[in-house]
Structures are given as structure tokens and as C-alpha cells.
Amino acid sequence: MSARVWLDLARAGNFPSVAGNVLAALVLSAPGFPFPAVVPLTLAVVAGWLVYAGGATFNDVADAAFDARHRPERAIPRGTVSRAVAAAVAAVQMAAGLGLLVLTGASPLWAAALAGVILAYDWTHKRWTGSVVLMAGCRVLLGLTVASRPGHGVTPALLVWLAVLFVYIVGLSLLARREYLPGAPAAKIGRSVGRLLAFIPFVDAAALLVCGAWAPAVLCALMVPLGRWAQRGMAAN
């Protein structure tokens, strides 16, 4: 089985946007908004990727019956990966990501809340329109979990950024739900959703610029073209 299968299940095309969210959370939650040290930043980004990968893979496990009808090209309905194996890998990914966050000082309570909201979204989003709030909550709780590390805290700048990010993700998710409506231009909507996913780091960059954190803002802005490049090779939605 190729690595591409697991990267698609993990929606690795969105990893740059996750990295941007983690960087913004670390900067906006620290006094003076300094650029984080390389090792803590790297560990936080890897943890964020693992949590995201686990949640995305669990999403395909939960959606296996739906995908068999609407997305038969995906790995589970195609038979490339069984639901049981995908679920086991997703559990390891999520546990590793959450464990890494906690081991590096993040609050276990915030980490548990993040896991709970991710799983709630995965298992309800095809049946409940209100799950778009849970989708946005996943990104917000990742930011709050990262911000709970030692030397960081909930600042006004962090809260404003998270509020804007929440609204952005809710809007994006509402658009994504239209993809499978009868008569909807699915391909066009799918492309729009992909672009909006890639542009999430612009929200991070804007918040950082307002706070005068130029270097991390530029790095977050660079996550946008990197995200578009990643989406050409790996799944994002």
C-alpha cells in the first residue's frame, strides 16, 4: 500500500493550513508576540498534523457508506484500506498527536475537548447541518490547546483571531455541504472549497500583522501557495 493512500485519508493537502494555525496560536498566545523557538514550534506542528490526520481518517471511517455511493474513488469504498485498519491507524495518529501536545505542556483538558469535538463532528456531520459549528470548533480548540502550553495564555489577540477563524470555517463548511445537494455543481463547489481551505493561513497572517508579528505573518502567508501545491498532489476535502 502506497504512502499516498494514507496521505489522502489524512487530507494532507491541508497540512500547511494546520501549520499556519499552530504558528499563529503560539505567537498570539505569548507575551510580546515573539517568533517561537524552532523545537517547540516543530513539535506543535507535528502534533497538529497528527491530530488532523487522525480526525480526517476517522471521517472516512464514519462516511464509508456515504462514500460508497458518492465518492467510490476513496480508499475505503475502493477496498484499498479496510474500515478496521483505517480506524486503528486514525486512533494511533490522534493519540500520538494529543499525547505529544500534552507531553510538551498543553492542558490535558483542552486536548480531551479537542478530541471529543473532532469525533463528534466525524460521526454527525453527514446528518446534522449544525455540525459546521463543530468543524470550526476543531480549529479553535487546536489553537486553544496549543495556547495552553507553558509560557502562553489566552490573550485578547488570540480570542479575536479564533473568533474570525471560527466564522471563516463555518462559512467554508456551509459551502462544502452544498456539494452533494441534487443538481449542485459539485466539481465547481469542490474547487472553491479547496481554495478556501488553502487560504485559511491568510486569516492567521492578518491577525499576526495586526499585532506587529511580521516574520510569522509572512511565514503563514507562504502557507497559502504551499497549500495549493500540496492540494495538487494530495486530497484536501
Instruction: Note the pLDDT of residue 233.
Output: 86
Please give the angle made by the CA atoms of 21, 27 and 30, to the nearest 5 degrees: 135
Q: Max Cα separation, the chain?
A: 51
Give the span between the Cα atoms of 206 and 226, in whole angstroms.
Answer: 17
Give the span between the Cα atoms of 188 and 206, in whole angstroms.
Answer: 27
Instruction: Note the pLDDT of residue 96.
Output: 98
Provide the b/e sequence for 199-225 (b: ≥16 CB within 10 Å).
bbbbbbbbbbeebebeebbebbbebbe
Report DSSP state, residue 207: H
Taking CA atoms, 115 is separated from 63, 79, 124, in Å, by 18, 27, 14
Instruction: Note the pLDDT of residue 1.
Output: 62
3-state secondary structure 66-87: HHHHHCCCCHHHHCCCCHHHHH
Structural domains for the chain: 3-233 (1.10.357.140)
**Could you read off the pLDDT of 191-202 as tens digits, one per residue?**
999 999 999 999
**pLDDT less than 50: residues of the chain:** none
**Could you read off the pLDDT of 64-77 as tens digits, one per residue?**
999 998 889 899 99
Place of cell 506543535: 44
Q: What is the mean pLDDT of the chain?
A: 95
Instruction: Note the pLDDT of residue 186.
Output: 79
Task: Tell if the pTM clears 0.75, that is, is over it.
Answer: yes
Please return the burial class of 35, using the count of CB atoms within 10 Å of its CB with bins 0-12, 13-18 and 19+. middle
